[in-house]
Amino acid sequence: MRKHKSVKSVRNSNSRTEPLAKAVRENASLPPMPIALRMEALRSQQLISHIPGASLEACARAYAEIYQARERAGTLDELIARRLLSLANTFSPARTETIQGAKRHYRLLTDFIPGCTNISEITSEQLRLGILNLSARPARLEKARSDEHVAFAPSTIGRVHSNWCALFNLARKEWRLHNNPMETVDRPKIFRRTAIQVLTPQDVKALLAAAGQLAPELVPVLAIAAFAGLRRLELLHLNWEDINLAEGWLYVNRDFSWLSKRRVPTRDNLAAWLRPYASNRGLVVCPNTARALDRTLKSIRMRAGIEKCTIDALRHSFGTYHFARFGPIETMDALGYSSRGIVDWYYFNRATDAAANQYFDIFPAEATSR
């Protein structure tokens, strides 16, 4: 029975093992295995011993498939040509723009990887470095010749990432490439230091004085924006019950889960500006005031002699001077940012210590006279 079972299993084996099966059926003596081959088989068995269900034959077949895929794969230039041809055969209203954009993005790829490179030799690390380097190079040649440095926008880098990923997906589909090297390459989060408006301490002081003359109901709103750094939407949802001057805290977005919940310390100058309104209840910005907020703020800043001023300008002014006086960690918590990198990117080295001290020494006229 044992002999019949072994012969039956051998007859069902692969055709590539037929000479060995024939030798077993004929009870012929097998050729002796060289010692070097035995040692290689033992070392290979040790390497795959931790893989459940793995065998030397299965591993050899998998490696043979990978090797054959490498042999089938062409060069980077050939793959780009196939991809552009497939885009040309796609009927779309924006087909021309799509092809032109893909050409530009694939030209960036061939800038650091030669077009004659075999597709199977391109690694994820090369592509990752290529994506990251796009944020550190000029977007146009004329900008590269000048002193001004203009990097690729994050949205452009995202489109480049998508086009590269589609390119290697085509290689995996047509040339049966083992894997897509772009699968492990993440889209980088790039924070660009955009232009923000920062008011001087003299401008903020004049703005609050003008608000006291034209619209006294806006004085606490502007004071909270300037000395607590709240966003416009956060100001519109803020209630007087969220301000606790006795404990020295201002609670932001306590009832709104889709916004960043936090508590901001009320410094001495902010407490002095809010103390006359401590008995108020309800919304800090009433609906009528909210509808006319921009128009009223324009009148106030014109009275103060300020060319431009928004709620965001007051928030960025707070962030700038708060960073200079209290450091990045407290500024990140006060503004509701989730990353210190954003705080450093926007507010690092924008204000001096003297200007920061002067900013947080802005008190109402009544408190100053006392």
Mean pLDDT of 150-155: 66
Question: Mean pLDDT for the chain?
Answer: 80
Burial (CB < 10 A; 0-12, 13-18, 19+), residue 135, is middle
Residue 126: what residue type? Q
Give me the sign of the Cα torsion angle 47, 53, 56, 62: negative
Taking residue 315's Cβ as centre, other Cβ atoms within 10 Å add up to: 21
Q: What is the pLDDT of residue 189?
A: 65
- Residue with tokens 């690694």, as numbered in its chain: 123
d(CA 247, CA 245): 5
pLDDT in tens, 244-287: 999 999 998 766 544 568 889 999 999 999 999 989 999 998 88
Confidence class for position 241, pLDDT limits 50, 70, 90: very high
- Residue with tokens 């092809």, as numbered in its chain: 99
d(CA 77, CA 166): 15
Kindly tell me if the per-residue pLDDT of 7 is higher than 70.
no
Residue 56 makes CB contacts below 8 A (sequence gap 6+) with 41, 44, 45, 48
Taking residue 332's Cβ as centre, other Cβ atoms within 10 Å add up to: 22
Kindly tell me if the per-residue pLDDT of 84 is higher than 50.
yes
Q: Give the pTM.
A: 0.52
Mean pLDDT of 64-80: 73
Q: Parse the chain into domains and list their residue ranges.
A: 1-44, 76-184, 201-369
- Return the CATH number of the domain spanning residue range 201-369: 1.10.443.10
Mean pLDDT of 234-240: 89
Give me the sign of the Cα torsion angle 136, 137, 140, 146: positive
Q: What is the pLDDT of residue 362?
A: 95
- Residue with tokens 């990887």, as numbered in its chain: 113
CA–CA distances in Å: residue 236 to residues 254, 267, 273: 13, 21, 18
Q: What is the pLDDT of residue 365?
A: 83
Q: 311 and 301 in contact (C-beta within 8 Å)? A: no
State the maximum Cα–Cα separation within the chain, in Å, rounded to a whole number: 115
Q: 260 and 196 in contact (C-beta within 8 Å)? A: no
Pick the CATH number of 76-184 from 3.40.50.2300, 1.10.490.10, 3.30.420.40, 1.10.150.130: 1.10.150.130
How much of the chain, in percent, has pLDDT values that exceed 70? 77
Kindly tell me if the per-residue pLDDT of 199 is higher than 90.
yes
Q: What is the pLDDT of residue 226?
A: 95
Kindly tell me if the per-residue pLDDT of 145 is higher than 90.
no
Mean pLDDT of 43-51: 79
